[in-house]
Amino acid sequence: MIDWCVLFLTTYITFLVLPYLLGYFRQIFREQPLVHNSNVELDKLTVIIPIRNESKRISTLIRSIKNSTRLPSTIIFVDDHSEDETLHILESELTDYPIQILRLPNEFIGKKRAIRYALPFASSKWILSLDADVWFEKNYFEQLEKLPPADLYVLPAILSAKIGWHFIFEVDILLVNALNLAVSGWKRPIIASGANMLYKKDLFLKYDQISLHEHISSGDDIYLLRDFRRNGAKIQVLSEYSLAVFTETPNGFREFLQQRLRWASKTADVGDKLCNYVIILQGILTLAFASSIVVLILKSEVRLLFLIVFVKIAIDALIFLPYFNRMRRMKAWLILPFYEIIYPVFFLLMVILSFSFNPVWKGREITSK
């Protein structure tokens, strides 16, 4: 049995640990530093924020806008048929700010249509897509004027836990983003967050292929990334903390599952071979680790069980430490050992539910052909 454990750890280090470390540091070193002569100017930037029933979550965004040292030319809110006080809050709180509120026509629903409906109202060169429940530092918009040249920017979106056990959700997304950064170091990004994406308006209009994914009600971010990539656009991934936006973790495990299953549904539809390879590799290694644990328990190999668990947790804690520190999420890093223990069960649950569970987004089911 010890031979199997050595084989697993050797395989894990060879196919995940070393490629991750090399890819991560390659990406960090290749990220161009922020400059002072960027072609992104705030007077040529429009922010588009789709909103739907956000009255309980939008206060942090309003506070961030009010506290900002500088603002873009226009912030467009697109209401996706809200049934609460969201519009009243915006109109009363942001009267003296450069905002515009649009109402999505009855024949359109969803974030994708909200963004596209707002585009003709934006006369700027650049479009920044944000979610309605984010917040950011007061100099966030100023930092956007220091971006190196690109056509599309994949910017950091960080989940922030307020309740102790919610740090598990924070860890999960941090690990996904860390892997995305490492894959970018080798080749290109495989995911992006619509909560913080910046792109050229004319290229969006040129490359957009919504007809291919309109049947899935969420996921504008990953499809937009695909459209730009397929057309050879220059995509810049940045992990600079000053460019980050923040949003709360899901309110509970059910909401977290909904979120992850929603992401899984659109990831499968995108058909990105590189992304699928990473997912399959991660799945194989996860199942191998879980199998090792089960066999060691059945054979009552207690010492070997604790050894392999300890070694794997120690390896992961060390390799992911630089990214957690870069994102200033060291509290979440302390939860990593516990997350490592429960992750195989969570992974299997995700696989099982993906065949029978239809996730919901903004009160609407995710539909597919």
List, for residues 135-168, the tens digit of each pLDDT value.
999 999 999 999 999 999 999 999 999 888 899 9
Kindly state the average pLDDT of the residues 245-272: 86
The answer to whether 230 and 115 are in contact (CB under 8 A) is no
Alpha helices by DSSP H, 111-252: 111-118, 140-144, 167-186, 201-207, 220-230
Domain count, the chain: 1
Determine the 3-state secondary structure of 252 from DSSP.
coil
Contacts 24+ apart (CB under 8 A), 324-329: 324/174, 324/178, 326/28, 326/239, 326/241, 327/156, 327/158, 327/174, 327/177, 327/239, 327/241, 327/244, 328/241, 329/158, 329/170, 329/174
The whole-angstrom separation of Cα 343 and Cα 349 is 10
Flag whether 172 is in a domain.
yes
Cα dist. 118→47, 79, 197 in Å?
10, 10, 16
The H-or-E segment that residue 316 falls in is helix 302-326
Q: At 299, list the tokens.
A: 């054979």
- Of the given ranges (52-66, 219-233, 248-262), which has the lowest mean pLDDT? 248-262
Flag whether 140 is in a domain.
no
Q: At 15, list the tokens.
A: 């196919």
What's the Rg (C-alpha) of the chain? Answer: 21
Domain residue limits at 301: 1-38+146-369
* More confident: 139 or 266: 139
Is the pLDDT at 218 greater than 80? The verdict is no
The whole-angstrom separation of Cα 116 and Cα 126 is 14
- Of the given ranges (64-73, 92-101, 119-128, 256-265), which has the lowest mean pLDDT? 256-265
User: Using CB atoms within 10 A of its CB, is residue 350 exposed (0-12), middle (13-18) or buried (19+)?
Assistant: middle
The whole-angstrom separation of Cα 324 and Cα 332 is 8
* Burial readout 246-277 (b: 16 or more C-beta within 10 A, e: otherwise): bbbbbeeeeebbbbbbbbbbbbebbebeebee
The answer to whether 67 and 98 are in contact (CB under 8 A) is no
**DSSP code of residue 187:** T
> For 214, how many CA atoms within 13 A lie in the half-sphere containing its CB?
10
Is the pLDDT at 364 greater than 70? The verdict is no
pLDDT, residue 38, reads 73
Flag whether 91 is in a domain.
no
Kindly state the average pLDDT of the residues 94-121: 93
The answer to whether 81 and 364 are in contact (CB under 8 A) is no
Greatest Cα pair distance, the chain, in angstroms, is 69
The H-or-E segment that residue 158 falls in is strand 157-160
What type of residue sits at position 157? A
Is the pLDDT at 42 greater than 80? The verdict is yes
**DSSP code of residue 301:** -
Q: Between helices 253-270 and 273-298, what is the axis angle to 10°?
A: 130
DSSP sequence for 319-363: HHHHHHHHTT-HHHHHHHHHHHHHHHHHHHHHHHHTTT---EETT
User: At CA 363, angle to CA 276 and CA 121, rounded to 5?
Assistant: 85
pLDDT, residue 362, reads 66
Flag whether 104 is in a domain.
no
Flag whether 60 is in a domain.
no
Indicate the pTM of the whole model.
0.93
- Within 10 angstroms of residue 225's Cβ, the number of other Cβ atoms is 25
The closest of 319, 335, 296, 327 to 8, measured between CA atoms, is 296
Is the pLDDT at 361 greater than 90? The verdict is no
Flag whether 286 is in a domain.
yes
* More confident: 357 or 56: 56
Kindly state the average pLDDT of the residues 201-229: 88
What rounded mean pLDDT belongs to the chain? 91
Flag whether 99 is in a domain.
no
Flag whether 119 is in a domain.
no
pLDDT, residue 369, reads 44
pLDDT, residue 368, reads 46
DSSP sequence for 44-97: GEEEEEEESS-TTTTHHHHHHHHH-SS--SEEEEEE-S--SSHHHHHHHHSTTS
